[in-house]
Structure 1
Amino acid sequence: MTNRFMGPPWQMDWTLKAQAARDALPEHVRQMIDAARAELVTAGDPYFRGIDADAGLPEDLHVEPARSSDPKGSRVLYFDNGHGWLTYTFVRRTEDPQIVVEQIFWQ
């Protein structure tokens, strides 16, 4: 056993409310969410810290902190050119680090 952090791909869990909201959306929106999920779980740093840290994401995705006063807190991932978003946190643990999706919205 080593003492270093595990790397991508990260585990991802959804709160029950977020999963229900995702499942209620149309199929084409769920496909966009799945594409956004793929970007998140393979990101080297799911916090996307620094200037233009999310520059490697597709053009219709953008990540920013939910609150600028909490740099290690929730993040907002905008998808579908800002028509939808999801909030998530990244729990960095030595064993089993994971992304937890807390809310999802699309209009």
Structure 2
Amino acid sequence: MHWTKQAQHDFQNMPAEGSELVMSARAELITAEDPYFRGIDADASLPHWMTVRPLASTSPGGPHIVDLAGGRGWLIYTFMR
């Protein structure tokens, strides 16, 4: 997992509760069978506090956003093959 410099700085300076949430989301994303969670039950295997969707509906294979803790936080990510 690579961070932009700003994202890495922000991560290193967030409260412990926030960084634990980010690391939990990261673990879910990197172990997912399908990192883009396509299908009817797209988020069925995710914890109840996470939802995943494309950042732009016109680019389903591009950047995605994961909403954390009921929308109180989010990560934008792109999987590189």
Instruction: Give the TM-score band, short-chain normalised.
Output: over 0.9
Identity %: 48
- Which of 66, 82, 85 is equivalent to 2:74? 85
Larger RCO (alpha carbons 8 Å, 6+ apart): 1
Count of equivalent residues: 81
TM-score (norm 2): 0.92
In structure 1, the residue matched to 2:14 is: 25
For residue 37 of structure 1, give the secondary structure of its aligned residue in structure 2.
helix
* Higher Cα radius of gyration: 1
Unaligned runs of 5+ in 2: none
Relative to total residues, which structure has the larger strand share, 1 or 2?
A: 1
Report the Cα distance in structure 1 between the residues aligned to 2:57 and 2:34, rounded to whole angstroms: 17
TM-score (norm 1): 0.71
Displacement after TM superposition at 1:52 (Å): 2.0
Unaligned runs of 5+ in 1: 1-11, 93-107
1:18-61: CA deviation from partner (whole Å, max 9, x where unpaired):
11111121111101111111101100111111222221100000
Q: Which runs of 4+ in 1 moved over 2 A?
A: none
RMSD across aligned positions (CA): 1.0
